[in-house]
Structure 1
Amino acid sequence: MLLRTVIFAAIAALLATQIPSMIQLAHQPPATTAAAEPAQPQSIAAAAGSAVLEADGRGHFNGTFRINGKSVDGLVDTGASLVAINESTARKLGFGANSLDFRYTVNTANGGTDAARVVLGRIEIGGVRVKDVDAFVLHDKALSGTLVGMSFLKKLKSFQVEGRNLKLTQ
């Protein structure tokens, strides 16, 4: 029991250190140039068991994921231990308010907030399909988007950046 508490505390601490920078980056307006990159690049390859995401103008890898069968825009974040979603997204994915136990405390750019741990049944992008992914749910005021963290990425055979592309392989 103590080991579980220590592990969850470590995950919460790591998540707490990463979410503020991701929130700050998400609120920065994109740079505008004559040859501006698209703000929301699409998956550019979808062979069975793989997906390739193109970096946006700021070098971030965004994509439209299917989580529990619903479309959700997400930012791939290798610095996040777990996938992180906000409460509105959790409701969209079928997690009712009564099923969320906000017993973990994490610190964000907006201050401390409670987080609930859930397991996402399925996350898909392109030809990649991963089941049973651990995630944190944060209140909407603490997290405006979805961060696709290591709890998803570590279930892949590999993920690597090649130039401006992130290749996910199952």
Structure 2
Amino acid sequence: MRTFVVVCTIGFLSVTAFQKLRERTRSDPAAPASAAATTPVPDGAVAGVALQAGRNGHFFVNALMDGRALSMMVDTGASSCAFSEEDAERIGIRVRAGDFSRVWNTANGTVRVAPIRIAVLQVGSIIVRDVDAVVIPRGRLSTSLLGMSFLKRLRDFTVSGGTMTLRG
């Protein structure tokens, strides 16, 4: 019985210590992408952003496109960054019906897309220039996607537990 009590006590203390460490890490002002957006990166340093998974397990970022903010879901399965037509309009990107000139295969079937290029796409302290992207027609995409046309230009990105780390 004494051994059982000791094992339970050690387990309880371990879980408590882990939770406190996790809370401390989450409350670190340098960790969120939105706080990192205003932190300058010294010359020669690697810009980095840590993202926490949402309840559904997906990672979201607050990105800036040419200075305009937009929430996007990180999608390593998307070959390119993809914007809903509604989000594109919100950040000042206008496309006409004739601009939907390419056919894309998606998880939801094929769709015509409008290819675009984002001059400056910033996530936290990470800045990538001239990012290829597409606009998906109105009503076909509920959340804009931060895809591989941005991610492959990073030094690296990793996922460990519920944290994704992007390094510029």
Q: Structure 1 length as normaliser, TM-score?
A: 0.68
Aligned counterpart, 2:158: 160
In structure 1, C-alpha distance between the alignment counterparts of 2:121 and 2:160, rounded to whole Å: 23
In structure 1, C-alpha distance between the alignment counterparts of 2:58 and 2:85, rounded to whole Å: 23
Q: What amino acid does structure 1 have at the position aligned with 2:33?
A: S
Which of 55, 60, 67 is residue 57 of structure 1 equivalent to?
A: 55
Aligned counterpart, 2:135: 137
In structure 1, C-alpha distance between the alignment counterparts of 2:160 and 2:34, rounded to whole Å: 13
How far does residue 105 in structure 1 lie from its aligned partner after superposition?
A: 2.0
Give the secondary structure class of the aligned counterpart of 2:99: coil
Aligned counterpart, 2:27: none
For structure 1, which runs of at least 5 residues remain unmatched after alignment?
A: 1-41
In structure 2, C-alpha distance between the alignment counterparts of 1:99 and 1:119, rounded to whole Å: 17
For structure 2, which runs of at least 5 residues remain unmatched after alignment?
A: 1-31, 42-46
Which of 75, 79, 84 is residue 82 of structure 2 equivalent to?
A: 84
How far does residue 114 in structure 1 lie from its aligned partner after superposition?
A: 1.5
Q: RMSD in angstroms over aligned alpha carbons? A: 2.2
Aligned counterpart, 2:14: none
Q: Does the 8 Å CA contact 1:44/1:54 hold for their aligned counterparts?
A: no
Q: Does the 8 Å CA contact 1:44/1:53 hold for their aligned counterparts?
A: no
Q: Percent identity?
A: 36
Q: Say if 1:126 and 1:149 are closer, same or farther in 2 by CA, change over 3 A.
A: same
Q: Say if 1:78 and 1:100 are closer, same or farther in 2 by CA, change over 3 A.
A: farther
In structure 2, C-alpha distance between the alignment counterparts of 1:95 and 1:125, rounded to whole Å: 19
Q: State yes or no: 1:43 paired with 2:33.
A: yes
Q: Does the 8 Å CA contact 1:86/1:139 hold for their aligned counterparts?
A: yes
**When the two structures are aligned, how many residues end up with a matched partner?**
129
Q: Say if 1:58 and 1:110 are closer, same or farther in 2 by CA, change over 3 A.
A: closer
In structure 2, C-alpha distance between the alignment counterparts of 1:99 and 1:155, rounded to whole Å: 30
Q: Say if 1:83 and 1:58 are closer, same or farther in 2 by CA, change over 3 A.
A: same
Aligned counterpart, 2:65: 67
Q: Structure 2 length as normaliser, TM-score?
A: 0.68
Q: What amino acid does structure 1 have at the position aligned with 2:128?
A: V
In structure 1, C-alpha distance between the alignment counterparts of 2:108 and 2:57, rounded to whole Å: 24
Query: Greater Rg, structure 1 or structure 2?
Result: 2
